[in-house]
Amino acid sequence: MEGGLSLAKITQISSGAWQVSLPFLGEDEIIGSYLLAGENELAIIDPGPGSMLEQLLASIRAAGFDPQDVTHILPTHVHLDHAGATGSLVRQLPKAQVYVHSKGAPHLSDTSKVIASASRIYGERMHMLWGEIESTPESRLHTIEGGDILKVAGRRLEVHYTPGHAVHHVIFFDAHSGELFAGDVAGVKLPGVDYVKPPTPPPDLDLEAWSDSISLIHSLRPDILYLGHFGAVKNISQHFGRLREKLSAWGDFVLEAMRKGKDEAEIIASLIEKTQPELQKIARDSHALQRYEIASNYAMTVQGYMRYWRKKHPERL
C-alpha cells in the first residue's frame, strides 16, 4: 500500500519493458499498461483509466523510475479503459508527449463528447469507474498513422493501423525483440484461463476490418503479443484462430436473434446462456466469469454486434 492506495502490480517482462496490472474494480490482471525505458526516455503504452492514475504513477515509482521523466504516452486506442488517464498524465508530467492515431486524436483533445456519451451509459458509476477524463492540449498531441516508425526508449516501434475493434486502433511492434503491443485487437484472454473472448463494443465494430488486422499481425510474425486484457500470448496462431472463430460465431448468433425479432435484453441473456458454460468449464472457477465480464461485458458485446449488422449489413436482417 502507498498512503492507503491499492497498488498496481508491475513485472519486468523483458529488457527495458514492464507490464503493469492496474487493479481495476479491485481485480488484478484485468487491465494492462506497459512501460518502456531506455536512452533516457520513458514511455507508457496504454495508460489506462483515470480512476487508476495514482496506481499507475505508483507502479512507475516502484519500478525505480520518476514519473516526471515520462516522455511518451502511446495509446493503442482511445477507449476509456486504455486511454482515459491520458489528459491527467499530460497535466502532471511536463515532458510527456502523446502519440495517437489521427482518428483518435480529436477524442483526446476535447473529451466533452466522450464524457457526455459515457455518462449516459454509466450514470452514477461514471466517476467510480473512469475517474477524471481531462482533455490533452493539442500542443502535446501528435497524430500517427500505419507505417510510421517511432523511436522510443531505445526501440524502433513500428506503428500498424489495426481497425476492427475501433477505427482509431493501432498496434506497436518491436521487430528487433519480436514484442507486439496489441491493445484490444487481439481480444481478451486472462492469465490462467485458456479462453479468448471477443471485445466488440459499439460504435466501431467492423468484422471485415478486424479480420484484415489479424492477418496483418500474422504477417509481422511476432514472437509474443501483449494484450490490454491481459498479458502475454505466445501461441499466436492458436490464439487468433480462437478469436476469429468467436468473432464470427457470436456475430452469427446475434444476427439470427435479430432476425427472430429478439430485443437487446433478450439477445444478451441468450448469448450469456449459450457461451458462459464453455468459459465456466474451461476456467473451473466462477470468479473467472466475473473477471471476463469486467474486461469485456456482454451488454456492450451485443450492442456492438447489433449496431454492426444494422449499419454495415442491413441487407442481412
- The grid cell for 276 is 458462459
Amino acid at 84: G
Percent of the chain past pLDDT 90, that is, above it, reads 95
CATH numeric code, 9-316: 3.60.15.10
How many Cα atoms are found within 13 Å in the side-chain-facing hemisphere of 165? 26
Banded pLDDT at 3 (limits 50, 70, 90): very low
What's the sign of the alpha-carbon dihedral 264, 270, 275, 279? Answer: positive
Is 0.75 surpassed by the pTM of this model? yes
- The grid cell for 176 is 528487433
pLDDT tens column, 161-213: 999 999 999 999 999 999 999 999 999 999 999 999 999 999 999 999 999 99
The mean pLDDT value for 241-250 works out to 98
How far apart CA 215 and CA 218 sit, in angstroms, is: 5
Least confident of 7-16, 20-29, 280-289: 280-289
Residue 309 above 60 pLDDT? yes
Give the residue among 238, 274, 229 at the shortest CA–CA distance from 254: 274
CB 67 within 8 A of CB 92: yes
The mean pLDDT value for 279-303 works out to 92
How far apart CA 12 and CA 84 sit, in angstroms, is: 24
Residue 38 above 80 pLDDT? yes
296: which DSSP letter?
S
* Residue 64, Ramachandran bin (φ over 0: left; ψ between -120 and 50: alpha; else beta): left
Banded pLDDT at 40 (limits 50, 70, 90): very high
Give the residue among 61, 7, 11 at the shortest CA–CA distance from 230: 11
Count other Cβ atoms within 10 Å, centred on residue 151.
Answer: 11
Q: Where are the domains of the chain?
A: 9-316
Phi and psi angles of residue 248, each rounded to the nearest 5 degrees, phi first: -75, -50
The mean pLDDT value for 277-295 works out to 90
Percent of the chain past pLDDT 70, that is, above it, reads 98
Residue 65 above 90 pLDDT? yes
Instruction: Report angle CA 198, 43, 131 to the nearest 5 degrees.
Output: 60
